[in-house]
Amino acid sequence: MNTPRLRHVGLAAALAAGLQLTAGAQKVERPDRIERPFAKGGRIAMDLSAGGYTIRGGAVDSIRVSWKTRDPRDMASVRADLTVNGTSATLRTDGPSDNFSVDVDVPSIADLQIDLSAGEVNLRGVEGNKSVSMWAGEVTMEVGDAKLYKSVHVTVRAGEINAGPFGGTRGGLFRSYNWQGSGKYSIVAKLAAGEVRLTK
């Protein structure tokens, strides 16, 4: 006699469960990447753990971050947080101390501030102010036309500076290179030990 009522209760429960699954699915992100909407012309600050980072301009109205480790078991130890507040974004990473690599795709016009303990940064295809600070490692920065810049300031306590587009090369201890132009952007790179390469 209660079969119709039980049927309705069962349908309601199934519907509620389905809605919960749908809502949950909308929040789930892949374990090896995150993405947030972000328009051109904003400022992106990056607080990065040791690793190899490729930062590319060209993403349309978003920031996309993906990562990998040599040992799949290390993926569980990776922590990446990307927050956006209007025209400002902050990316923080924490990963294994060895063989941790990250790709970051950003809009083609953005100001970047990158702080990294050690590793390698390869930056290309981004127009804007660029600042990189690192204890030890290598920085390769594609700068485009030198006419876009008003100032370049690079310091390395021990290592090499190759600022080809701006006409300068330095090597050895406590080296720095400064350049002034008529553009609107600035470049700052500071390393304790390693190499900075500015390329066109």
Look at residue 24 in the predicted model and tell me its pLDDT. 37
Question: How far apart are the C-alpha atoms of 108 and 115, rounded to whole Å?
Answer: 20
Question: How far apart are the C-alpha atoms of 16 and 9, rounded to whole Å?
Answer: 11
Both 160 and 136 in a single domain? Answer: yes
Of 90, 63, 64, 94, the C-alpha closest to 76 is 94
Look at residue 19 in the predicted model and tell me its pLDDT. 39
Both 24 and 53 in a single domain? Answer: no
Q: What domain range includes position 175?
A: 31-199
Count of the separate structural domains present in the chain: 2
Low-confidence ranges of the chain (pLDDT < 50): 2-28
Question: How far apart are the C-alpha atoms of 132 and 195, rounded to whole Å?
Answer: 12
Query: What pLDDT, in 10s, does the model give residues 34-63?
Result: 999 999 999 999 999 999 999 999 977 999
Both 49 and 18 in a single domain? Answer: no
Burial 171-189 (b: 16+ CB within 10 A, else e): eeeebebebeeeeebbbeb
Beta strand 130-142 with 168-180 is unpaired
Both 73 and 7 in a single domain? Answer: no
Look at residue 26 in the predicted model and tell me its pLDDT. 38
Both 179 and 93 in a single domain? Answer: yes
